[in-house]
Structure 1
Amino acid sequence: MSYKNYPMVSRVIFGRGSFNQLGDIIAPKRRNIKAPFIFLVDDVFKGNSWLTSRIPLAYQDKLIYVPTEEEPKTSQVDKLTEEIILSFNERPSGIIGVGGGTTMDLAKAVSIMLTNDGSAKDYQGWDLVKNPAIYHVGIPTISGTGAEVSRTTVLTGPERKLGINSDYTPFDQVILDPELTKDVPKEQWFFTGMDCYIHCIESLNGTFLNAFSKSYGEKALELCLEIFLENSLTAEEAQDKLMMASWHGGMSIAYSQVGVAHAMSYGLGYLLGTKHGIGNCIVFDHLEEYYPEGVKIFKDMKAKHDIELPQGLCADLSDAEFDIMIDVALSLEPLWENAIGKNWKKKVTREKLKSLYSKM
C-alpha cells in the first residue's frame, strides 16, 4: 500500500495584529527590486484604509482588487496571470492573497499559472501541475473555508467545477490574524463557518477516515459546537476559535476527503453560481439520510442564529439543467467514495440526486 506524502503550509503565524509583520516576513523573499510582490485583495476592502494602509507596498509592487461576488473561474485566473505577465518584465517575487476563500483560491491558482503553461482549466483535477508555483502567501479575512491550509484551489471552468489539487498548491506562508475577521457580516460568518462544520461532519463520517484526519476533525468540530451553540464566548474569543476551527477543518480533509454536501454543492455552484458556503448549507439541510446527527445539530445552529436559507433554487430548472448539476456532482468520485464506499455507484443514482436537488 502506498501512503500520501502530503505537503503542508511550511510557515504559519497566528495572533491579533500579526498582519503588521507581513513586510518583515516577505522582505527576504524579494528576488530583486524589479521583481514585484503582487497583492490580490478582496474588493470588499476597497476604501477600507484600516486594512489597505497596512499593506507593505515597495518598489514596483502592485495591489490588484479582485471581485469576489462570484466563485473564482479559470478564465479569471488566466486574465490575472496575463495581466501580471504583461505588466512586468520580471517574474514576480510572490503572490499574496488577502481575503476570503475566493481570494485565496485565486492567489494559489495564479502562483501556479505563472510557472505552468496553458490555461488554468488544463490543471483542474488531481496532480496535473508540473512545475512548482512561485512563492505565495495566504491571509484569510474570514474563517471557515480551510482554503488557507488546503492543497486545492476550487475553480469553475468551462466544463466543470473542480479544484487544482496538487502538491504545489498549498501556501508557503499563512498569516492567521483573527482581528481581520471583525467586520464580517453575520450571515456570511455563519455560512462560511458552516463550511468548516460540514468539512468535519463529512470527514468524520467518511470511509477514508484515519487517526490523522480524525484528530484534526474532532478538534474542529468541538470548536464549531462551542462557537455556534454556546453563549459564553466573547466576540474576540469566537473569532480566534473559528480561525483555528477553519485551520483544523481544512487539515481534517487533507488526509481524507469531503462528501455528499460538497459534491452536490459543486453542482449548484457550477450551474447557478451559488456561493460555496451557502450552497453547502442548502444541500446539507436535506441530507438526514447520510448525516442524521450532523444535520440535526446544523438545524439547531440555524435556529439559534436565526438564519433563513434560500428556498426554491431548483424550482424552475429544466431536465437538461438538472442533468448538468448531476453530471458535475457525480464527476467528483473521491467524494462519493469517501461518503458511501467503493460501491457508491450502485447506491447513488441520477434519480436520487434529482429528487434531492428538487427539494432545494
Structure 2
Amino acid sequence: MEIKKKIKLKKIPTRASEKYRNFPMVPRVVFGNGSFDQLGDILLPKRKHSESPIIFLVDDVFEGTALIPRIPKIFCDQIVFISAEEEPKTTQVDALVAMIREEYQELPSGIVGIGGGTLLDLAKAVAILLTNKGSASEYQGWDLVHKKSIYHVGIPTISGTGAEVSRTTVLLSPEKKLGINSDETTFHQVILDPELTKGVTHDQWFYTGMDCYIHCVESLNGTYLNAFSQSYGEKAMDLCKEVFLTDLSKTESQDKLMMASWHGGMSIAYSQVGIAHAMSYGLGYLLGVKHGIGNCLVFQYLEEFYPEGVATFNKMMQRHQIELPNGICRNLSETDFDKMVTVALSMEPLWENALGDNWRNLITPEKLKSIYQKI
C-alpha cells in the first residue's frame, strides 16, 4: 500500500532568539586538470619540521602507477596503500592510528587521503582520532568530537560520494554503520583534479555517480530542505542529468561529475539524505555491499517515495546499459533481515528528513523488510 506523506518543510529561523546551525565548509579548494601537482606547494607551509611527517593514505589501485612518483613525499613522510574493496571500518581506523603513534614520536603534520569515498573517510577519521582518545566507534554519531583534528587534505579519484566536502565519515563498527558527524571531520583542503578519475571503470563510474544523484533526490524532497541546500542540490541535479542523460565528451563528463559531487555534498551538508541511504547502511553493515551500489539496489524500489527520481534513475540505467545484481538477499534469515532493519531505522535524522516528524507512524519494520526481500 502506498504511503502518503504529509510533509511540512522545516523553515529557516527568523527570530533572533532562534539558533542557526553554524556548519563548516572546506576553507580551501583547488580545481582543474593537473592541479594534483600543486600538492607539494600546498603542504609545505603546513609542515611543522622534518620529524613531523605527512601521512598519505592511498587507494592501492594506484600502487606502481605513474601517480605515486607525483606524490610529494619528503623527510620521513609515509605512503600507506589501502584497499577500497571493503567499506571503511572503525577497527581499520584504530589500527592506522596505532601504527602512526608507534612509528612517530611527533604528531603528523597532516593526513592526505587519495582515492574514493573509502580513502577520504579513512583520512578524515584518522585525523580526528590522532587527537581524540579512544576508539573510532566511540565517535560514531552527531557532534561527539570535541578536540580539533590535525590538518587533513582530501583528493578524490572518483566523483559522486561527496566525501570530499561533507562533515561526516561513514564507518562500519561491530555494532553499526554510522558516520562520525562533526565540525572537525571536514577537510581543511581539497584538490579536485578531474584527470585523476580517468581510470574508473564504467560500472563504478555509474554507481558512484548515482550516489550523487540520489543525494540530490533525497535532499530536494526532504523536510530539512532550505534555500541554501536547495541551491546546491538543484545545481548538482542539473549536472547529473547532463552527465548521465546527454552526450558529453570524456573531459566534460569528468569535470561536470566532479562538480556535481561537490555541490551534492554541500546540499546534504545543510540538509540530509533519506530512505535509500538509510536502507543502504543495512546492506553495508550485514553484507558489506559498497555504498554506491547499495543506494542503487534500494533506490530502484522507492518509487512510492521518490516517483520522479526513480523514473529518471531508470532512464539513466537504460542509457548506460547497467544491470543491477539481484537475489543478494534471497537466502537471508529472519535474524539477518532484523539486523538490516535495525541498522536502517537507527538513522533517525535521515527518516525525519524523508518523512517528517511523524516518520515512525509512516514506516514499519515490515515495510523495510519487504523492500529488502526484493533485492
TM-score, normalization: structure 1? 0.99
| 1:178 maps to 2:194 | yes
Q: Which amino acid aligns with 1:262?
A: H
Of the three residues 225, 230, 236, the one matched with 1:209 is: 225
Aligned twin of 1:106: 122
- Does residue 32 in structure 1 map to residue 39 in structure 2? no
- The residue number in structure 2 matching 1:10 is 27
| Matching residue of 2:353 | 338
Report the Cα offset of residue 199 of structure 1: 0.1
Residue correspondence of structure 1 range 237-252 to structure 2 within 5 A: 237-252=252-267
Q: Which residue of structure 2 aligns with residue 187 of structure 1?
A: 203
Per the alignment, residue 298 of structure 1 pairs with 313
Shift of 1:47: 1.2
Cα offset, 1:158, TM superposition: 1.1
Q: CA deviation at 1:31?
A: 0.6
The total of aligned residue pairs comes to: 358
DSSP-derived class of the 2:208 partner: helix
Q: Which amino acid aligns with 1:28?
A: P
Q: Which residue, 300, 324, 328 being the options, matches 2:343?
A: 328
> 1:233-268: CA deviations, max 9, x gaps?
110010000000000000000110000000000000
C-alpha distance in structure 2 between counterparts of 1:295 and 1:60, whole Å: 50
Match status 1:22 vs 2:39: yes
SS in 2 for 1:98: strand
Aligned twin of 1:64: 80
Aligned-partner SS, 1:53:
helix
Letter aligned with residue 45 of structure 1: F
Equivalent-residue separation in structure 1 for 2:357 and 2:106 (angstroms): 48
Report the RMSD for the aligned CA atoms in angstroms.
0.5
Q: 1:276 aligns with which of 283, 291, 295?
A: 291
In structure 2, what is the Cα distance between the partners aligned to 1:263 and 1:151? 17
Q: Give 1:130 shift.
A: 1.3
Specify the alignment match of 2:363 in structure 1.
Answer: 348
Name stretches of at least 5 consecutive residues in structure 2 with no aligned partner: 1-17
Deviations 1:177-200 (CA, angstroms, capped at 9, x unpaired): 000001100000000000000000
Give, in angstroms, the shift of residue 7 of structure 1.
0.4
Matched, 1:117 2:133: yes
State the shift of 1:313 in Å. 1.2
Q: Which runs of 5+ in 1 are unaligned?
A: none
Listed as ranges, the matches of 1:44-83 within 5 Å are: 44-48=61-65, 50-83=66-99
Structure-2 residue corresponding to 1:166: 182
- One-letter identity of the residue aligned with 1:121: S
Report the CA distance between 1:2 and its aligned residue.
1.8
Instruction: Return structure 1 stretches of 4+ with deviation > 6 angstroms.
Output: none
Deviation at 1:221? 0.2
Residue 145 of structure 1 aligns to a residue in which SS?
Answer: coil
Q: Percent same amino acid among aligned pairs?
A: 68
Q: For 1:276 and 1:137, locate their aligned partners in 2 and report how far apart those are by CA, in whole Å.
A: 22
Which of 24, 33, 43 is 2:60 aligned to?
43
Alpha-carbon distance between aligned partners in 2 of 1:313 and 1:353, rounded to the nearest angstrom: 16
Alpha-carbon displacement from aligned partner over 1:149-195 (angstroms, at most 9, x marks no partner): 00000000111100000000000000000000011000000000000
The 2-side partners of 1:312 and 1:81 are apart by 38
Q: Which TM-score applies when normalising by structure 2? A: 0.95
What is the aligned partner in structure 1 of residue 156 from structure 2?
Answer: 140
CA offsets per residue over residues 77-133 of structure 1, 9 Å max, x none? 000000111011111000000000000000000000000000000000000011010
C-alpha distance in 1 between matches for 2:170 and 2:263: 19
Work out whether 1:266 is the aligned partner of 2:260. Answer: no
1:230 alignment counterpart: 246
